[in-house]
């Protein structure tokens, strides 16, 4: 079984379409989305429609829940809050209903899918520190757990001796030699690791390999849409540099 795993599209239709084009013709059986289809970007409704059409598993992110009042909007910084308020005004009732019904976490075929952290998904914790990674790796049921949220692709691996390993700037990870892996697939619509390229992953369960894919897209088009929608200009600027 081969999965494509995407996260944090954030209403960026150009990046989303570029990733789907990258996937076209490849041998993928399941499409997984780890949350934050809306927030920051100018095309939340269009991205929801595409997601509903094509994806097999869809998880809620903090922006998705904030837009429908399930997560407190005051926990966001002013730019994110501005974008959430804009999205509330822009989205259709059907789009909002769809976001309201998204689950926080899903287990499937020995895999865990969650937006932020498997231990307390509703708290939207960022897994940056070794301490946080260990707490989560010890608590998660399955040996492979996939997350998004930080917009930074990375892997934490825990071996049978309790040793923790950390990887970033990788293109593939062989899923052996450790008992548990926590894999962040990065962000499609707003990468924050210094690259403007959209990020997502392909999991090949037969080969036991996770591949990180980076895809060029026309962010200049998204930038123009962000500015003409009246969204904060910093949301356009950051797409060019990936921060
Ligand atoms: Zn996000």
pLDDT of residue 26: 93
Positive/negative CA dihedral, 193, 66, 16, 33: positive
Considering the chain, what percentage of its residues have pLDDT values greater than 90? Answer: 97
Between the CA of 58 and the centroid of ligand 1 the distance, in Å, is 14
Cβ atoms of 199 and 180 closer than 8 Å: no
Between the CA of 9 and the centroid of ligand 1 the distance, in Å, is 8
| DSSP conformational letter for 74 | G
Between the CA of 193 and the centroid of ligand 1 the distance, in Å, is 13
Mean pLDDT of 189-196: 97
| CB burial of residue 196 (10 Å; 0-12, 13-18, 19+) | middle
Between the CA of 188 and the centroid of ligand 1 the distance, in Å, is 9
Mean pLDDT of 108-130: 96
Between the CA of 151 and the centroid of ligand 1 the distance, in Å, is 6
Mean pLDDT of 133-156: 96
| Strands (DSSP E) found in the chain | 2-6, 30-33, 57-58, 105-108, 111-114, 144-147, 154-158, 164-167, 172-174, 180-184, 198-204, 209-215
Average pLDDT, the chain: 97
> pLDDT tens digits, residue range 150-179?
999 999 999 999 999 999 999 999 999 878
Q: Is the pLDDT of residue 192 over 90?
A: yes
pLDDT of residue 178: 79
Q: Catalogue all structural domains in the chain, each as residue range(s) with its CATH number.
A: 2-241 (3.60.21.10)
Between the CA of 160 and the centroid of ligand 1 the distance, in Å, is 32
pLDDT of residue 89: 97
Between the CA of 76 and the centroid of ligand 1 the distance, in Å, is 11
Mean pLDDT of 215-230: 98
Cβ atoms of 202 and 28 closer than 8 Å: yes
Rounded to whole angstroms, the Cα distance separating 42 from 46 reads 9
pLDDT of residue 39: 96
Between the CA of 161 and the centroid of ligand 1 the distance, in Å, is 33
Between the CA of 189 and the centroid of ligand 1 the distance, in Å, is 9
pLDDT of residue 179: 87
Considering the chain, what percentage of its residues have pLDDT values greater than 70? Answer: 100
Between the CA of 110 and the centroid of ligand 1 the distance, in Å, is 25
Between the CA of 141 and the centroid of ligand 1 the distance, in Å, is 24
| DSSP conformational letter for 64 | H
Helix%, strand%, coil% for the chain, nearest 5: 35, 20, 45
Helix (H, G, I), strand (E, B) or coil at 173: strand
pLDDT of residue 141: 87
Between the CA of 37 and the centroid of ligand 1 the distance, in Å, is 8
Half-sphere exposure of 212 (CA within 13 A, CB side): 25
pLDDT of residue 14: 98
Between the CA of 61 and the centroid of ligand 1 the distance, in Å, is 7
Contacts of 202 (CB under 8 A, 6+ apart): 2, 3, 4, 5, 26, 28, 210, 211, 213
Between the CA of 232 and the centroid of ligand 1 the distance, in Å, is 16
Cβ atoms of 102 and 58 closer than 8 Å: yes
Mean pLDDT of 120-137: 96
- Ramachandran quadrant class, 113 (left: phi over 0; alpha: psi -120 to 50; beta: rest): beta
pLDDT of residue 124: 97
> pLDDT tens digits, residue range 4-61?
999 999 999 999 999 999 999 899 999 999 999 999 999 999 999 999 999 999 999 9
């Amino acid at each position: 079984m081969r999965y494509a795993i995407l996260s944090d599209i954030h209403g960026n239709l150009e990046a989303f379409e570029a990733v789907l084009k990258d996937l076209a013709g490849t041998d993928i059986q399941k499409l997984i989305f780890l949350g934050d289809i809306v927030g920051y970007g100018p095309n939340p409704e269009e991205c929801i429609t595409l997601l509903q059409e094509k994806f097999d598993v869809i998880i809620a992110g903090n922006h998705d829940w904030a837009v429908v009042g399930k997560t407190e909007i005051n926990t966001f910084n002013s730019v994110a809050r501005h974008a959430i308020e804009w999205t509330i005004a822009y989205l259709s009732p059907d789009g909002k209903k769809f976001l309201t019904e998204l689950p926080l976490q899903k287990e499937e075929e020995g895999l865990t899918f969650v937006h932020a952290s498997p231990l307390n998904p509703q708290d939207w914790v960022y897994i940056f520190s070794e301490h946080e990674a260990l707490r989560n790796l010890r608590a998660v049921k399955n040996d492979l757990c996939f997350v998004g949220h930080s917009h930074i692709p990375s892997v934490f691996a825990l071996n049978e001796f309790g040793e923790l390993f950390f990887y970033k700037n990788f293109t593939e990870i062989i899923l052996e030699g450790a008992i548990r892996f926590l894999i962040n697939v990065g962000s499609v619509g707003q990468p924050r690791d210094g690259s403007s390229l959209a990020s997502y992953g392909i999991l090949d369960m037969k080969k036991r390999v996770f591949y990180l894919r980076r895809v060029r897209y026309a962010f200049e088009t998204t930038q123009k849409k962000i500015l003409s929608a009246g969204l904060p200009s910093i949301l356009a600027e950051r797409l060019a540099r990936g921060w």
